[in-house]
């Protein structure tokens, strides 16, 4: 039949694998009954697969009673069952007195069975021939003659027509077996493909979870010591009067800021990939934001001898509505690059209205090494740098621009650059920032560097002695009643003995962590129908999922380490004043 195409290896396939023998038996019985012929389906070598249908007494009990007769019958069956593609095989059986016919069943070129019909008396045969055959196989001649005459007779023409019908039937069986097989294989492959897909999805989820876990731990491990470095350098800068030492301390702080920023970028890229990053819009004072970012770089530019300036077009509304933190981060990334890739000249940060689309355009222009034209948009891809040699001379890991692009796009803006090799670069991004008009009522509130209320009772739950010392130093000038606990269990004891206005709760602690402790505090408050004490989670976990978790267990707010003094004061003022 030549249907090989489309089927995988089918060598070794058996008739029983393709058909239900019961169904085939019924088909064979019905065909024999309707046509008045005997029927049997055998393997290609003549071994029967089905039970005989309408076998004549002559064949079943007379001829096959003799060993020789039986062998001859099987031999005849095998001969008429040979695979013939043009039509049925029609011939006399070995006795020479009965008509037999056969058609092969094959699947994808593999011959799996024969459907045989026959035991029809040939009216033209001389009766002497049957007697001599009886002698040959050793059966009684008279009995053989009598049984032979009882076999139904049929004209050769009629028998040929039935054989032709058999041939069509067998072909149809072959075809449907082939289709079934194809369907089976297709279903099996589909199933296998689905299984593979599920397995690889599970593996990817596992890997992604492992990455998140690793980043959470890493962020904790790195942010905790940074907490110390940044906090102490702030305190030292404030109290230092020696010019050289002050400069060294500023350098220390600036290096710390860069390191923290790098940690943030690594965390961000994973949060972005997990689709966890969210846009949080708020009203903010644009000039103040630019000033704040610029002030982080003043010292470093000055140190490199680069003139650094920033200007903001006077027509821009002072207050705008947008994602302040992400804008800060993009500007930080662009300014870090300008600082890194400029050795002399100027760097300018600017913001002006992009009138056409009612957007604000930000730009960071430098007179640095510039970028080759051939690099194009590639520079915005993750881990892409102009050339790898640069990593050695300038550092960096190729994340800043890719993160910036994602953050700009998430806010509905676009980012691009213009550059000439050796002349400098200008990175620009525009964002749809709505102007906020307060009718002149709103003024910039200077960040408070003191607490609004005195004698606030605070419980600090923190296992690290360094951090306890740092927060103590932050609060020492303000009249705060500060109690400490070094894990969740101690905190619960303190709470049973004292009343507090606020709890500062570290998350990762031995014995009982901050999540569990917060849950227990909230349970106890419910039981005793007490007012809920504000709990601020202090944590090195910078992932969005961790922040959500701390809010879920009942914290009122979440502050990521390293904690700045102003942020701590803002929080205390907000929750305990």
| Residue-wise DSSP of 295-356 | HHHHHHHHHHT-EEEEEE-TTS-SEEEE-HHHHHHHHHHHHHHHHHH--SSEEEEEEEEEGG
Contact segment (CB under 6 A) with ligand ADP among 96-104, 208-216, 332-340, 483-491 equals: 332-340
> Residues binding ligand ADP: what is the number (CB under 6 A)?
20
Q: Does 347 bind ligand ADP (CB under 6 A)?
A: no
Q: Does 402 bind ligand ADP (CB under 6 A)?
A: yes
Q: Which of 46, 88, 400, 488 binds ligand ADP (CB under 6 A)?
A: 400
Q: Which is nearer to ligand ADP, 402 or 539 (CB)?
A: 402
Contact segment (CB under 6 A) with ligand ADP among 26-34, 136-144, 191-199, 400-408 equals: 400-408
Q: Which of 150, 198, 397, 548 binds ligand ADP (CB under 6 A)?
A: 397
Report the side by side order of strands in the sheet with 535-539.
Answer: 480-485, 456-461, 502-506, 535-539, 557-560
* Contact call for residues 468 and 457 (beta carbons, < 8 A): no
CA distance 370 to 332: 19
Contact segment (CB under 6 A) with ligand ADP among 324-332, 362-370, 447-455, 490-498 equals: 362-370
Q: Which is nearer to ligand ADP, 233 or 336 (CB)?
A: 336
CA distance 87 to 500: 100
For residue 435, what are the CA distances in angstroms to 100, 293, 320, 322, 348?
Answer: 98, 21, 4, 9, 24
Tokens of 105: 């069943």
Q: Which is nearer to ligand ADP, 77 or 386 (CB)?
A: 386
* Contact call for residues 461 and 482 (beta carbons, < 8 A): no
Q: Shortest distance, CB of residue 227 to ligand ADP, whole angstroms?
A: 24
Q: Shortest distance, CB of residue 265 to ligand ADP, whole angstroms?
A: 8
| Residue-wise DSSP of 362-392 | EEEEE-SS---GGGGGGGGSTT--S-HHHHH
Q: Does 329 bind ligand ADP (CB under 6 A)?
A: no
Q: Does 396 bind ligand ADP (CB under 6 A)?
A: yes
Q: Does 300 bind ligand ADP (CB under 6 A)?
A: no
**DSSP-derived 3-state class of residue 107:** strand
Q: Shortest distance, CB of residue 9 to ligand ADP, whole angstroms?
A: 51
Site for ligand ADP in 91-130 (CB under 6 A): none
Q: Does 495 bind ligand ADP (CB under 6 A)?
A: no
CA distance 532 to 523: 10
Q: Shortest distance, CB of residue 312 to ligand ADP, whole angstroms?
A: 21
The backbone region for 545, taken as left when phi is positive above 0, alpha when psi lies in -120 to 50, beta otherwise, is alpha
Q: Shortest distance, CB of residue 386 to ligand ADP, whole angstroms?
A: 3
Cα 363 from chain centre: 36
Q: Does 432 bind ligand ADP (CB under 6 A)?
A: no
Q: Which of 15, 167, 301, 341 binds ligand ADP (CB under 6 A)?
A: 341
Angle between helix 243-273 and helix 324-341 axes, rounded to 10 deg: 120
* Tokens 């691009």 found at: 416
Q: Which is nearer to ligand ADP, 133 or 380 (CB)?
A: 380
Show Cβ contacts of residue 421 under 8 Å, excluding neighbours closer than 6 positions: 369, 370, 371, 372, 373
Tokens of 253: 């702080």
CA distance 463 to 451: 25
Contact segment (CB under 6 A) with ligand ADP among 171-179, 188-196, 269-277, 393-401 equals: 393-401
Contact segment (CB under 6 A) with ligand ADP among 13-21, 148-156, 199-207, 379-387 equals: 379-387
Q: Does 365 bind ligand ADP (CB under 6 A)?
A: no
Contact segment (CB under 6 A) with ligand ADP among 54-62, 81-89, 361-369, 553-561 equals: 361-369
Q: Shortest distance, CB of residue 334 to ligand ADP, whole angstroms?
A: 7
Q: Which of 73, 170, 401, 571 binds ligand ADP (CB under 6 A)?
A: 401
Residue 494, burial from CB neighbour count under 10 angstroms (0-12, 13-18, 19+): middle
Residue 38: CB atoms within 10 Å = 22
Taking residues 51 to 90 in sequence order and writing x for each that binds ligand ADP by CB under 6 A, - otherwise, the string is ----------------------------------------
Which of 86, 93, 6 is CA-nearest to residue 58? 93
Applying CB under 6 A, the residues found at the interface with ligand ADP are: 333, 337-338, 341, 366, 368-369, 371, 379, 385-386, 390, 396-402, 425
């Amino acid at each position: 039949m030549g249907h090989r195409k489309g089927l995988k290896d089918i060598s070794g396939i058996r008739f029983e694998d393709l058909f239900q023998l019961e169904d085939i038996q019924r088909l064979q019985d019905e065909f024999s009954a309707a046509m008045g012929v005997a029927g049997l389906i055998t393997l290609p070598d003549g071994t029967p697969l089905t039970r005989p249908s309408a076998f004549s007494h002559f064949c079943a009990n007379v001829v096959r009673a003799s060993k020789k007769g039986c062998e001859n019958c099987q031999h005849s069956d095998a001969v008429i069952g040979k695979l013939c593609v043009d039509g049925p095989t029609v011939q006399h059986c070995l006795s020479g007195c009965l008509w037999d016919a056969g058609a092969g069943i094959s699947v994808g070129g593999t011959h799996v069975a024969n459907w045989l019909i026959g035991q029809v008396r040939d009216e033209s045969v001389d009766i002497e021939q049957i007697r001599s055959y009886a002698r040959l196989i050793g059966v009684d001649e008279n009995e053989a003659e009598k049984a032979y005459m009882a076999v139904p007779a049929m004209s050769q023409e009629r028998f040929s027509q039935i054989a032709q019908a058999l041939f069509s039937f067998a072909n149809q069986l072959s075809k449907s077996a082939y289709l079934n097989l194809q369907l089976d294989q297709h279903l099996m492959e589909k199933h296998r493909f689905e299984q593979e897909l599920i397995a690889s999805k599970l593996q990817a989820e596992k890997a992604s979870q492992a990455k998140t876990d690793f980043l959470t731990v890493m962020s904790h491990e790195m942010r905790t010591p940074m907490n110390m470095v940044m906090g102490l350098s702030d305190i030292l800068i404030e109290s230092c009067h020696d010019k050289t030492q002050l400069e060294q301390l500023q350098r220390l702080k600036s290096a710390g800021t860069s390191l923290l920023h790098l940690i943030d970028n690594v965390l961000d890229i994973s949060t972005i990939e997990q689709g966890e990053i969210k846009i949080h819009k708020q009203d903010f004072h644009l000039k103040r934001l630019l000033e704040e970012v610029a002030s982080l770089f003043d010292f470093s530019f000055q140190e490199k001898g680069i003139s650094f300036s920033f200007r903001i077009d006077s027509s821009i509304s002072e207050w705008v509505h947008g994602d302040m933190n992400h804008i800060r981060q993009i500007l930080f990334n662009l300014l870090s690059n300008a600082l890194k890739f400029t050795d002399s000249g100027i760097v300018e940060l600017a913001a002006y209205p992009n009138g056409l689309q009612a957007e604000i355009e930000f730009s960071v222009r430098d007179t640095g090494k510039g970028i080759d034209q051939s690099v194009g948009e590639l520079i915005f891809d993750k881990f892409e740098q102009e050339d790898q040699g640069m990593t050695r001379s300038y550092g960096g890991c190729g994340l800043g621009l890719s993160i910036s692009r994602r953050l700009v796009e998430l806010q509905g803006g676009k980012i691009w650059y213009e550059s000439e090799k050796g002349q400098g670069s200008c990175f620009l991004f525009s964002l749809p920032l709505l102007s906020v008009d307060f009718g002149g009522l709103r003024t910039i509130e200077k960040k408070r560097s003191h607490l609004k209320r005195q004698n606030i009772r605070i419980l600090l739950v923190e296992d690290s002695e360094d951090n306890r010392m740092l927060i103590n130093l932050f609060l020492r000038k303000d009249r705060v009643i500060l109690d400490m606990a070094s894990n969740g269990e101690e905190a619960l004891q303190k709470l049973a003995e004292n009343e507090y206005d606020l709890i500062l709760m570290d998350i990762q602690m031995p014995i009982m962590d901050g999540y569990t402790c917060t849950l227990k505090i909230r349970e106890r408050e419910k039981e005793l129908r007490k007012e809920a004490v504000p709990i601020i989670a202090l944590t090195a976990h910078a992932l969005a999922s961790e922040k959500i978790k701390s809010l879920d267990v009942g914290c009122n707010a979440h502050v990521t380490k390293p904690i700045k003094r102003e942020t701590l004061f803002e929080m205390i003022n907000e929750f305990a004043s």
